[in-house]
Structure 1
Amino acid sequence: MSTPAAAQLERWQRFRTHRNKALAADHGWLTLTSFEWLDAQPSGVERAPGLWSTDGTTAALTAAAQDGLTFVETGEPVDGTITATLFDEESLMWVQFGGADGRQVVVELAMRAGRYAIRTRDASSPVFTEFDGVPTFHYNPDLVIEAGFEAYPEPVPVPIGTANPLVDGVHYSVGEVVFRLPGIVHELRLHAEEEKLGALTITFHDETNGDTTDEWRKVSTARPRVDASGKATVILDFNRAINYPSAFTPYGTCPMPVKNNSLDARIEAGEMQPGLAH
């Protein structure tokens, strides 16, 4: 019969298996090989055929059949000029080319900071083909913490930077996760954003950053539980702290933590810097 600790470890191991499989998905984050802004004048780009442009509202691509571009969604060839319109922060896996099946490279159209850009996702990228899992710290049950959650009356927009210095972001803080870490007497607070079904995501710095971990990481919780007295709590499991895509590629536009989301402690749990020995 498994003990609660053994069951907890087993759940974490399943989480790690699913996480590594998700990262290794076709044309996922590990396949990013470029990021380029589009100009008003139709022009070529570094890693994709055709002429690309934008009038600020719509993106356009002009290509001939011999360029070998096809639509990702239908497989139909691109021959002439096609257009697409996105809202800010939206992305579209638009066209593809290359390889024996014509699908080696997918070109993603993205709208970031009010500007159109394209990113290529190449299935032959060594970051993807040589991936064998993200290194992690050993599981630490002491860093599974019950934390309070103090919700704000309304979400508070907080300007933030991103992994791309030309792209600004906004963190919509819905409240603060309040907790203590083992060996640290003072209370800690981290701003949280709300995700699907009321789950929370906390993006944070800690003192392992730049040493054994990337510059920042994130950890998610389930929807806060509220007891009869109205007190809300969440389980903050730092063993499930993960890297943003920008830890694996220089072509991400991932959000940085808000100014105060820095822990004066070494969170030696969760994902380490990619490339470190397991």
Structure 2
Amino acid sequence: MTINDAPAPAAADAQPQFDEEWRQWHRRHEEARADRHGFLAVTGLHWLTSAPQRFPDMPGEWHTGESGPVVALDADEVLVVDDLPIRGRHEFGPIAERGGVTVGIDGGVLEVARRGGHDILRPRRPDHPLRVAYRGTPTYPPSRRWVLSGRFVPFDSPRPTTVGAAVEGLTHVYDAPGQIEFAVDGVPLTVTAFNGHAPGSLSVLFTDATSGVTTYPANRSLVVGAPDERGRVTVDFNRATNLPCAYTDYATCPLPPSENRLPIAVEAGEKTPYERLADSSADRS
């Protein structure tokens, strides 16, 4: 099957609609990113062990084991779990990989989660300076050139795929249902896809020749809609987005598999956040 580099040119009067649809999509994405308890509100990343320990930005003494995270609260400390105040000792039970629960703490919420085989805690507070000062993420202008036709090629069975993480030494394992084939300027390309959040959708982690130049070095992410009955998909790089690790060091984001390191420059989607550009400037000063 031949894969077209891009869809047929649209009428000129369709361009404003294309641009507006992209602006609306990106505005919604930015609003979700800046949610009062979103990733920009994370104030710490704490790794639980079998030894009880306290952390400076949350109540209780915490440890974990085969039975999952456990907290012991002092008499003047409280958590809110399922809208109920909890005092004393509380067992969360085993947490599934990439799962978690969110509980209330004074001034915010606390994420109790499991990532890369480790139980973690991440407090989130709306007044965190990263969230308060957030001014949006720079992007490339939307362009129809980067709306590509592709084909999903499923594996005979999902393949467990191990990838690195933004945290050194951590790994993630995802079941990859197949690969997506497409082309850019006549160059055939193939990327491994993971399952997306919506039923049937796909998620692609990738880097390209812009990574570390105009876009975040470690990764970008792209959601691809469910393939049709012939396996056809649309790969719209205008909607390539940063993962949380592009903004905060308190993230455990996965890195792309090696085959998803594209040799071309994808000059579309989100660029390096202003916050990371400021960090780079400080490092050079």
- The TM-score with structure 1 as length reference comes to 0.89
Structure 1 CA distance for aligned equivalents of residues 101 and 169 of structure 2: 20
Q: What residue number does 2:155 align with? A: 152
Unpaired runs of 5+ in structure 2?
Answer: 1-10, 279-285
Equivalent of 1:94 in 103, 109, 127:
103
For residue 173 of structure 2, give the secondary structure of its aligned residue in structure 1: strand
The 4+ residue runs of structure 1 with deviation greater than 3 A are none
Kindly indicate whether residue 110 of structure 2 is the aligned counterpart of residue 111 of structure 1.
no
SS class of match (1:198):
coil
User: Percent same amino acid among aligned pairs?
Assistant: 28
Cα offset, 1:2, TM superposition: 8.4
Distance in 1, Cα, partners of 2:51 & 2:231: 54
2:283 alignment partner in structure 1? none
Q: More displaced, 267-276 or 108-117?
A: 108-117
Shift of 1:130: 1.1
Change (3 A) 1:125 1:246: same
Shift, 1:72, TM fit: 4.8
Q: Does 1:203 align with 2:205?
A: yes
1:101 aligns with none
Kindly indicate whether residue 18 of structure 2 is the aligned counterpart of residue 8 of structure 1: yes
SS, match of residue 225 in structure 1: coil
8 Å contact kept, 2:138–2:270: yes
Partner residue, 1:189: 190
On the 8 A contact 1:56/1:115 being kept in 2, the answer is no
Change (3 A) 1:144 1:132: same
Of 128-137 and 109-118, deviating more is: 109-118
State the distance in 1 between where 2:43 and 2:102 align: 14
CA distance in 2, matches of 1:60, 1:95: 16
The yes-or-no answer on 1:130 pairing with 2:133 is yes
Counterpart residue identity of residue 56, structure 2 = E
* Paired letter, 1:82: H
SS in 1 for 2:124: strand
Q: Distance in 2 between matches of 1:193 and 1:55?
A: 29
Deviations 1:147-187 (A, max 9, x none): 122121211111111112242111322121111113xx331
Whether 2:261 is the aligned partner of 1:262: answer: yes
The residue number in structure 1 matching 2:46 is 36
Secondary structure of 2:31 counterpart: helix
Task: Check the 8 A contact 1:48/1:120 in 2, yes or no.
Answer: yes
Find the aligned partners of 2:205 and 2:248 in 1 and give their Cα distance. Answer: 18
